A and B are shown apart, each in its own frame.
Chain A
Amino acid sequence: MRTRIINKLIQRAQKDPRVFLVTGDAGYGVLDEYQRRFPHRFLNLGVAEQNMMSFSAGLALAGYKVFLYNIIPFLLYRAYEQLRDDICYQRLAVTLIGIGSGFTYAPQGMTHYSLEDISLALTIPNLVILSPSDPYEAESCMEFAFRSNKPVYIRIAKSAEPLIHTRPVADVRLSLVVKKGRDVAVLFHGSIASEVMDACQDLEYEPTLISMPMLRPVNFLALKRQLRGIHTIITVEEHFVQGGLGSILEEWIIRKNLPFQLKKLGVKNEFVHRINNTAGMRQAYGICQRHIREAIIKAFLKKDV
């Protein structure tokens, strides 16, 4: 996804002289091409995240369309107040590209995981939240960001995420049905999509699979239509189980008094001390394909009884 996003940015920068890329000393080997081609619209503001965020707000005030690239904890957690006060409160259309969603960087340690970023981003009014599931969605997120007059946060893993769509995504603002099934719907966002797809391989049941690249604002009307005939929703995300997609849907279901059962798969809220790679972490925290598969089967059986 990262490569597609940067390529998209390069394409855009060629046409639009306002495009400006800022990094906080991240992106070695990834941003070189951009930097080589647009040296005057590239800035590495070093390991100084507070300044990086406010400085970008200033560039936006000068008329630039700013894209900020960094690892999520240093982008969103370290400079949260700068994001709130200097970008969102001032209504500046800066796009944050955060890499390393969930356990992408495992086993780098807790400081490098991003399991609460969506909760944090949701607290800031005005901020559009995008979490693409595959490279097509990632490209579409960038298209959205180019046109957006609001601040945007794009949450991505890193690289080599498999495609889940067969063609480019037309409208990233909508929840996207990847596979139409019945009774049970699995909703997900981000790179965990590959686990969901694997979980449904050779499965005797056919749940509807829906990718949710836009976590705010959610087009609930379209989603409700897609959920016709569904009795159980399973949410899967590489994020703390509270405060992400599961919680967003939970709130909606209660607010609108909807007849859905909801099963939330996500990471338990705790500091992670175990040492595993990404796949191992997903297994340990109950969000790998086996767990997803079990949850789907359980949901189907429950109704059959």
Chain B
Amino acid sequence: MTTVDKLRQVALEIRRLIIEFACRSKCAHVGSSLSCVEILTALYFKEMNLTKTKSCREPDHFILSKGHAELALYATLVKKRIMSKKMLEGFMQQDGTLPAHLDRFTGRGIEVSSGSLGHGFNIALGWAWGNKLRKKGGRFFVLIGDGESQEGSIWEGAMFASRLGIDNLTVILDNNNLQGYGRANELCFFEPIDQKWKAFGWQVHRVDGHNFSQINSALASPNRNSPKIIIAKTVKGKGVSFMEDQMKWHYFIVTPELKEKALKELSLYSYAHKNYK
């Protein structure tokens, strides 16, 4: 198995966890979680250094700024064995363990509480800059969404990050072009989004957000005295045919029947990853 094959297998298992626990918890935003699975997999299972070592006192940090994709993060943390599956079983249950939007005091691996959009990104900027000043090392990875990119705070931060030269930071935009109640590029003058970031002084990469080799090489490319953003073209609800690119899967709940249907599709993929790009 090549590295990419392994990553594909992990992503598939994370998707299954998402479907299983989305059904159990009756949570929304399933489509939002499914669209960023490859991004999280590439980060946690390849790019990020998660443990302190002698040579590296500070591990890398991941901040989920689009906090409504919490289930993708929880599932990834479980798969990575940072969080126990038992924790995930209490997700959104009465007197349970994990809330729908991130609370950093609830579980291991949740670095910043988020949920309201346009917050995590700016916290990450300050944290990354602070670590750089204190020469602490460690890199920062932040995931933001399309809807989130309409927040003024994102552009406030973007303007300062490049001025300060925060080069220990990589932002990934989960560009699925479907938000709560419309498509980003129809609601506002969203594109050309890459040129906007470029104009703000960022180093910009555009990748297919479901293609591991593209994601990996973009993540690995060095920052050159500037912050970096990877605009990852993704499909909302990716991996489950009846959820793909459907706005309703920002809100719909996975019923037991739909769960079976979705898991069946996902198990087929494992035998035919060629279809599964």
B113 to chain A: which residues have CB within 8 Å? 85, 89-90
Among A20, A61, A89, the most chain B Cβ lie within 10 Å of the Cβ of: A61
- The binding surface of chain A is classed by DSSP as helix
Q: Which of A43-51, A107-115, A292-300 contacts B (4 or more CB under 8 A)?
A: A43-51
Q: Which residue of B lies closest to A90 (CB)?
A: B113
Task: Assess whether B104 is in contact with A58, with CB atoms less than 8 Å apart.
Answer: no
Among A20, A51, A62, A91, the most chain B Cβ lie within 10 Å of the Cβ of: A51
Residues of chain A at interface, number, CB under 8 A: 27
Task: Assess whether A58 is in contact with B125, with CB atoms less than 8 Å apart.
Answer: yes
Task: Assess whether A54 is in contact with B119, with CB atoms less than 8 Å apart.
Answer: yes
B121 to chain A: which residues have CB within 8 Å? 54
Task: Assess whether A61 is in contact with B152, with CB atoms less than 8 Å apart.
Answer: no
Interface 1/0 per residue, A85-115 and B, CB below 8 Å = 1100111000000000000000000000000
Task: Assess whether B153 is in contact with A50, with CB atoms less than 8 Å apart.
Answer: yes
How long is the Cα–Cα vector from A45 to B123 in the complex, in angstroms?
Answer: 13
Task: Assess whether A61 is in contact with B122, with CB atoms less than 8 Å apart.
Answer: no
Task: Assess whether B116 is in contact with A62, with CB atoms less than 8 Å apart.
Answer: no
Q: Which residue of B lies closest to A92 (CB)?
A: B123
Q: Is B134 engaged at the interface, CB distance under 8 Å to the other chain? A: yes
Q: Is B182 engaged at the interface, CB distance under 8 Å to the other chain? A: no
How long is the Cα–Cα vector from A50 to B123 in the complex, in angstroms?
Answer: 10
Q: Which of B109-140 contact A (CB under 8 A)?
A: 112-116, 118-119, 121-131, 133-134, 136
Q: Is A56 engaged at the interface, CB distance under 8 Å to the other chain? A: yes
User: Could you say which of A50, A55, A63, A91 contacts B129, with CB atoms under 8 Å apart?
Assistant: A55
Task: Assess whether A59 is in contact with B112, with CB atoms less than 8 Å apart.
Answer: no
Task: Assess whether A56 is in contact with B116, with CB atoms less than 8 Å apart.
Answer: no
How long is the Cα–Cα vector from A48 to B164 in the complex, in angstroms?
Answer: 15
Task: Assess whether A55 is in contact with B134, with CB atoms less than 8 Å apart.
Answer: no
Residues of chain B at interface, number, CB under 8 A: 29
Q: Is B227 engaged at the interface, CB distance under 8 Å to the other chain? A: no
B268 to chain A minimum Cβ distance, whole angstroms, is 41
Task: Assess whether A48 is in contact with B159, with CB atoms less than 8 Å apart.
Answer: yes
Task: Assess whether B116 is in contact with A59, with CB atoms less than 8 Å apart.
Answer: no
A60 to chain B: which residues have CB within 8 Å? 126, 130
Q: Is A235 engaged at the interface, CB distance under 8 Å to the other chain? A: no
B160 to chain A: which residues have CB within 8 Å? 45-46, 48, 51, 55
User: Could you say which of B127, B134, B156 contacts A51, with CB atoms under 8 Å apart?
Assistant: B156
A273 to chain B: which residues have CB within 8 Å? none
B209 to chain A: which residues have CB within 8 Å? none
B125 to chain A: which residues have CB within 8 Å? 51, 54-55, 58
How long is the Cα–Cα vector from A1 to B164 in the complex, in angstroms?
Answer: 32
Interface 1/0 per residue, A29-45 and B, CB below 8 Å = 00000000000110001
How long is the Cα–Cα vector from A228 to B239 in the complex, in angstroms?
Answer: 72
Task: Assess whether A59 is in contact with B127, with CB atoms less than 8 Å apart.
Answer: yes
How long is the Cα–Cα vector from A51 to B122 in the complex, in angstroms?
Answer: 6
How long is the Cα–Cα vector from A58 to B115 in the complex, in angstroms?
Answer: 16
A50 to chain B: which residues have CB within 8 Å? 118, 122, 152-153, 156
How long is the Cα–Cα vector from A61 to B134 in the complex, in angstroms?
Answer: 12
Q: Is B157 engaged at the interface, CB distance under 8 Å to the other chain? A: yes
B1 to chain A minimum Cβ distance, whole angstroms, is 38
How long is the Cα–Cα vector from A60 to B127 in the complex, in angstroms?
Answer: 7
Task: Assess whether A59 is in contact with B122, with CB atoms less than 8 Å apart.
Answer: no
A24 to chain B minimum Cβ distance, whole angstroms, is 11
A86 to chain B: which residues have CB within 8 Å? 119, 122-123
A51 to chain B minimum Cβ distance, whole angstroms, is 4
Q: Is A57 engaged at the interface, CB distance under 8 Å to the other chain? A: yes
A87 to chain B minimum Cβ distance, whole angstroms, is 9
Task: Assess whether B123 is in contact with A54, with CB atoms less than 8 Å apart.
Answer: yes
How long is the Cα–Cα vector from A211 to B12 in the complex, in angstroms?
Answer: 64
A90 to chain B: which residues have CB within 8 Å? 104, 112-113, 123
Apart from A55-B157, A58-B125, what 10 extra A-B contacts exist at CB < 8 Å? A20-B130, A41-B133, A50-B122, A50-B152, A51-B153, A54-B122, A54-B123, A63-B136, A90-B123, A91-B105
A-B residue pairs, 7 tightest by C-beta: A58-B126, A62-B130, A54-B122, A58-B127, A48-B156, A55-B126, A51-B156
Q: List 8 A-B contacts (CB under 8 A).
A: A41-B133, A48-B160, A50-B122, A51-B153, A51-B160, A59-B129, A81-B116, A81-B119
**Interface residues in chain A, defined as those with a beta carbon under 8 Å from any beta carbon in chain B:** 20, 40-41, 45-46, 48, 50-51, 53-64, 81-82, 85-86, 89-91
